[in-house]
């Protein structure tokens, strides 16, 4: 029993090392320009070990996308789990997304690279669909709670969720492409106020 648990721990540790290494390498070199050797070197492991834990580059990258998604959900849930106020939860949900630009500088360049794969790989397309669905699910839960508690207007949750995600992602994409185009913090605050004006009861 113990030896089996130890083996599982080692497998999880190695996979985690390789996924973290892939995150760093893809952010530096881009989706198309890295090799398995680059990942192995970054992780201080052998090429053979990379192939042992992941069938190929796509398998490794899909695991990376899943890991990114899980981490975002984990950090968000940790931030809002003890809150009762839907308005505060929504503000944290939006701020958390905006703060990724500053706190996780590699995150969006990596995600943008993944987006380029959706017409080339059905598995990558499905993984990206799950990523966006996850964002929408979290936002929808907050909106539904706010409506139920009488804090938010009775609104079309699906439409409002898509609108909120679009406002967040649109600002982030523009900022990552050209971070001198506008004052990021000022516009983030403006979008939060705008979303509040849409959902809050007067």
| Per-residue model confidence (pLDDT) at position 1 | 45
> Do 130 and 31 belong to one domain?
no
**Residue 166, CB half-sphere, CA atoms under 13 Å: how many?**
6
> Do 79 and 173 belong to one domain?
yes
| Per-residue model confidence (pLDDT) at position 5 | 65
> Do 29 and 117 belong to one domain?
no
Closest CA to 164 of 63, 90, 71, 84: 90
> Do 47 and 111 belong to one domain?
no
| Per-residue model confidence (pLDDT) at position 4 | 58
CATH code where residue 7 lies: 1.10.10.60
pTM: 0.80
> Do 85 and 184 belong to one domain?
yes
**Residue 46, CB half-sphere, CA atoms under 13 Å: how many?**
3
Closest CA to 71 of 117, 23, 123: 23
| Per-residue model confidence (pLDDT) at position 190 | 97
Counting the structural domains of the chain, the total is 2
- Do 143 and 133 contact (CB within 8 A), yes or no? no
Polymer length in residues for the chain: 202
CATH code where residue 100 lies: 1.10.357.10
Where in the sequence is the domain holding 28, given as residue range(s)?
1-54
Per-residue pLDDT tens for 144-169? 999 999 999 999 999 999 999 999 99
> Do 50 and 74 belong to one domain?
no
Last residue of one domain, picked from the residues 54, 82, 99: 54
Which residues in the chain come in under a pLDDT of 50?
1-2
């Amino acid at each position: 029993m113990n030896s089996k648990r130890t083996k599982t721990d080692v497998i999880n540790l190695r996979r985690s090392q390789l996924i973290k290494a892939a995150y760093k390498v893809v952010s530096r070199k881009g989706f198309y320009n890295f090799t398995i050797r680059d990942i192995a070197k970054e992780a201080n492991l052998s090429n053979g070990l990379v192939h042992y834990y992941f069938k190929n580059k796509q398998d490794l990258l899909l695991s990376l996308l899943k890991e990114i998604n899980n981490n975002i959900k984990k950090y968000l849930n940790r931030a809002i789990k003890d809150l009762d106020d839907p308005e505060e939860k929504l503000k944290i949900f939006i701020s958390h997304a905006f703060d990724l630009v500053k706190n996780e500088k590699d995150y969006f360049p990596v995600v943008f690279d993944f987006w380029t794969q959706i017409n080339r790989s059905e598995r990558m397309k499905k993984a990206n669909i799950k990523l966006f669905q996850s964002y929408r699910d979290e936002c929808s839960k907050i909106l539904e709670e706010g409506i139920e508690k009488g804090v938010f207007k009775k609104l079309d949750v699906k439409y409002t969720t898509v609108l909120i995600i679009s406002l967040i992602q649109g600002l982030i994409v523009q900022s990552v492409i050209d971070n001198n185009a506008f004052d990021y913090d000022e516009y983030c605050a403006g979008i939060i106020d705008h979303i509040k004006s849409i959902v809050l009861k007067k």
